[in-house]
Amino acid sequence: MSKHRHDSESSKDRNVNPTIAQDQAGTSAQRPPPDVQSPPGQPAGNFGQTGPHGQAEGDSKFSGSPGQTPGSSATPDLADELEAVRKENAALKSEIEELNAKYLRKLAEEVNFRKRMLREKEDGQKYALSSILADLVPILDDFDRGMKAASGAHSFEQLQEGMVLVQRQLSQMLENKYALKRFDSAGSPFDPTMHEALFAEPADVDEAVVSEEYLPGYMHHERVLRSAKVRVKIPNGVKKNVAQDAAFGGEPGDKPAAGQRPEEGAGQD
């Protein structure tokens, strides 16, 4: 009898509807594999169940901490960027303060330099003659000694000798130390850059010549410091021609036009 029951069950299995078998196969395929474990802290068998808000509890476990919105993983990056910007801002402020301090120091140094240069310029102008005055003091002492000796001896020869010595000492000091040199003009050709003619007289000469020197001339290095005051001899006829040109009212050497009298050309341009 048991054998008969076993055969009947086998015949039932062979007569199963193909549709039902296919549904059963699909259901078994949808089931999770037995080796899948539930997330930590969740009892087995609750995987895939929804919570009170309609969200799968398993999904909420893997999405992050409670209360964290999607995309909140970028928050640490923003915090790092903000901290970097703050550090950079602090560094820039420190650099600006340092540059400002350097600028103020440079400005103070420039102001002090200008004040010092102005003070040195004023002192230079004020005490520019200190060197030459210090050199003239011994000459004054020589004058005092010569005058005292001459007054005690009542001798003109001693006074003259003392004056000559002092004059020679003064001239040598000015020439050797300050390049002040005296030049002689008597008998030399007249040079308007070095001589100032106070008087002129005609003479049998080929060119203007200094005949007498009233005041000597001096040169400082290569420049004329003072022109010599002189009397000049000029060739015969030069003075007459100059007077005639002045009467014509023209430049020296100009002559009146043909048929024109001197008084007609006088005063005309």
Separate counts of helices (H) and strands (E) for the chain: 8, 6
Q: Among 92-96, 157-161, 238-242, whose mean pLDDT is lowest?
A: 238-242
**What are the structural domain ranges in the chain?**
180-256
What share of the chain has pLDDT > 90, as a percent? 36
Q: What are the start-end ranges of the E strands in 136-186?
A: 180-183
Give the per-residue pLDDT at 155: 77
Burial tier of 62 (Cβ tally within 10 Å: 0-12, 13-18, 19+): exposed
**pLDDT tens string 34-75:** 444 444 544 444 444 444 444 444 444 444 444 445 545 568
Residue with tokens 């050309």: 265
pTM: 0.46
Give the per-residue pLDDT at 69: 52
The mean pLDDT value for 217-243 works out to: 83
Give the per-residue pLDDT at 182: 92
**pLDDT tens string 178-196:** 999 999 999 999 999 999 9
Length, in residues, of the chain: 269
Confidence band of 24 (pLDDT split at 50, 70, 90): low
In degrees, to the nearest 5, what angle opens at C-alpha 70 toward C-alphas 69 and 71?
110
Which has the closest alpha carbon to 238: 184, 202, 186, 185? 202
The mean pLDDT value for 68-92 works out to: 80
First to last CA, the chain: 172
Specify the CATH superfamily of domain 180-256: Head domain of nucleotide exchange factor GrpE (2.30.22.10)
In DSSP terms, which residues pair with 228 in a beta bridge?
Answer: 195
Confidence band of 106 (pLDDT split at 50, 70, 90): very high
